[in-house]
Structure 1
């Protein structure tokens, strides 16, 4: 069955993969809603039942009396807020394609944060109540949440953790067991999607391109491999080697790469998620999404963020955060007040956060999940320092996940952790 609106197939590889066997039949048959801006976007626009008089928010002025109308709103209020936004945003997609080395906008999909993209891929591929996804815990929690919302089964193939808690003098490192992933999908043909988080959250594990290539190439799996790269820019600045699975998108038609403007670009508030894939799947997602899912203010900020000067600024800030990460680790493990209370960081550290286990107070060197939970709570409620307790996740016993902050915030983190460790 042809995919409605598809202009190019891309590279059909691996040979055993057929996207029509992965997409739910009702989605393949879908004729997408055709919105007003799909046809025309210029002229006297009397086609979309918009308010021709414009928005009703008064612009800030020197005599404005309403406290919520501040000068920083001026640029936003000058946008055509009374008009529906573009349904396709080709300029944003063109900048993403150039940034990530893809040939055209046909390889780019935009969503309301990665969470919308996660949910949408599940809805178009996985039949509720019948089929499943595979995840590799510990991993991003929204995969399971979206699966539950969509009545989809979840198969778990845990990451393998070696050298945990400083055993043998090395940090605990997570790795994807490619053999076990392929054995799982071979044993259960109802698995339609494999989710790999790279770098992992909370594991900070980077999944190698060789591992991704092996899974995509294997005839044991006829579904789609998803690589979630929310933190990938924190790795690319540390190596000259290709590390992003975006470099494999043109090669494999069964691969989707998720990215976002929330992390390295520092734009979590605008909710702009990205899927990179070959045109057939991008067209399916486009056919299925809500007509105007990306708002005009979001699009305006995203286009600016993807300009050459803004991308250079992003890279500079990422470099600073990488430096701050190293400084924070050095201080945590040189300060008497913290080093004896923390085990070595878990994971490879390829992100804008670290994950460290809390140890028992008796100096035994054993991890203490209950103490970690108490430290987390007291830090937030009595000391104004909010981190994340991850101790209930597989392989993360007693762990706190600490986002890398400014130099001042990191100093405060060490000081307040020391205080709480002395109390608990």
Structure 2
């Protein structure tokens, strides 16, 4: 399949002249900056906070490039992955005309963002073992289908989606296939970012919120072809990642070994927690997980959830989600937190 981005790009985006900021027009060092209407006297916090940040976050992208093995030109940084998701709708989907495909149960922001942008959603539920229904997806695709969203490892189920099934979609779908890999660091599966040169219609989302422990900074990543990244940069607000987030992200990205240590401990705790919970009579099933959480089917999810709240422990009740009936989603905590959870659940006797 020869993918042509112009066939799915909105006409108004093709013709869009992006906002040109002062920091776009001058790159380099100078002794006096009188071009951006900043406060020349400084800020109450730090001298450099009176200046606008790098609009393309080059230093952060360079560091991510070294870690991920992807050129900076193939990286977009967003205000969380949610910004990248929103830009995909705004750049490639015409409101009231186009549609996208989601595969529930999955991350809820795809649907929210579609609704905000007035884009129709075609839902093709996962199979009972939480894999893609390729036949159903093929039947749902029409000439106005622009995007297919796949979360792998999936939220809230925790499992990875079969790689060959995703490759089938990439090879045959004429729109964009978005693979959300927010939890890939905890997975046994390979990331799809190494396939960017193979598939021109591939967009991979990752984040610094999970394994990197930077949820408060709101730094999401999109990896794609250079022409797709150029579209992201054309549509995004000029300064979408603030200076403080860029500085703190750079500091964090120097601590790969610390993050890898946390990942190893999280995975070990995940397996221990699965073994401990499997022994409880209130637990009916624990689904396979490649993430930093597990989906647990229980005898009485609402009562168990409320009981844990009373103990000061908060999990996520997913029992009202299709294909997740009776289930609670439990994030893997520290060993001490996991021990408390197990003790609390052992004392539940309703």
Answer whether TM exceeds 0.5 for this pair.
yes
Structure 1 residue 89 displacement after superposition? 1.3
Would you say the 8 A contact 1:198–1:206 is kept in 2?
Answer: yes
Q: Does 1:19 align with 2:1?
A: no
Q: Deviations over 1:314-357 (max 9, x none)?
A: 111100000111111122223xxxx11011212x2100000101
Q: TM-score, normalised by structure 1?
A: 0.80
Structure-2 separation of matches of 1:245 and 1:143: 19
Q: Secondary structure at the match of 1:160?
A: coil
Structure-1 separation of matches of 2:320 and 2:145: 26
Q: Deviations over 1:216-247 (max 9, x none)?
A: 111xx321000000000101xx4xxx621111
2:308 maps to: 379
Structure-2 separation of matches of 1:327 and 1:295: 39
Q: Which of 96, 111, 123 is the aligned partner of 2:78?
A: 111
1:167 maps to: none
Structure-1 separation of matches of 2:159 and 2:133: 12
1:183 maps to: 139
Would you say the 8 A contact 1:107–1:276 is kept in 2?
Answer: yes
Consecutive unaligned residues in structure 2, runs of 5 or more: none
Would you say the 8 A contact 2:285–2:298 is kept in 1?
Answer: no
1:40 maps to: 26
Q: Secondary structure at the match of 2:319?
A: coil
Q: Does 1:305 align with 2:293?
A: no
Matches within 5 A, 1:203-242: 203-218=157-172, 221-235=173-187, 238=188
Q: Deviations over 1:154-191 (max 9, x none)?
A: 10111111xxxxxxxxxxx3211223222321xx2211
Q: Does 1:54 align with 2:42?
A: yes
Q: Secondary structure at the match of 2:174?
A: coil
Would you say the 8 A contact 2:283–2:296 is kept in 1?
Answer: yes
Q: Does 1:411 align with 2:339?
A: yes
1:340 maps to: 281
Q: Does 1:96 align with 2:48?
A: no
Structure 1 residue 378 displacement after superposition? 3.0
Structure-1 separation of matches of 2:93 and 2:10: 7
Pair member with larger Rg:
1
| TM-align CA RMSD | 1.3
Matches within 5 A, 1:72-221: 77=46, 80-102=48-70, 104-161=71-128, 173-185=129-141, 188-218=142-172, 221=173
Following TM superposition, where does structure 1 have runs of at least 4 consecutive aligned residues deviating by more than 3 angstroms?
A: none
* Pairs aligned (count): 348
Q: TM-score, normalised by structure 2?
A: 0.96
Consecutive unaligned residues in structure 1, runs of 5 or more: 1-13, 58-76, 162-172, 360-370
Q: Does 1:253 align with 2:200?
A: yes
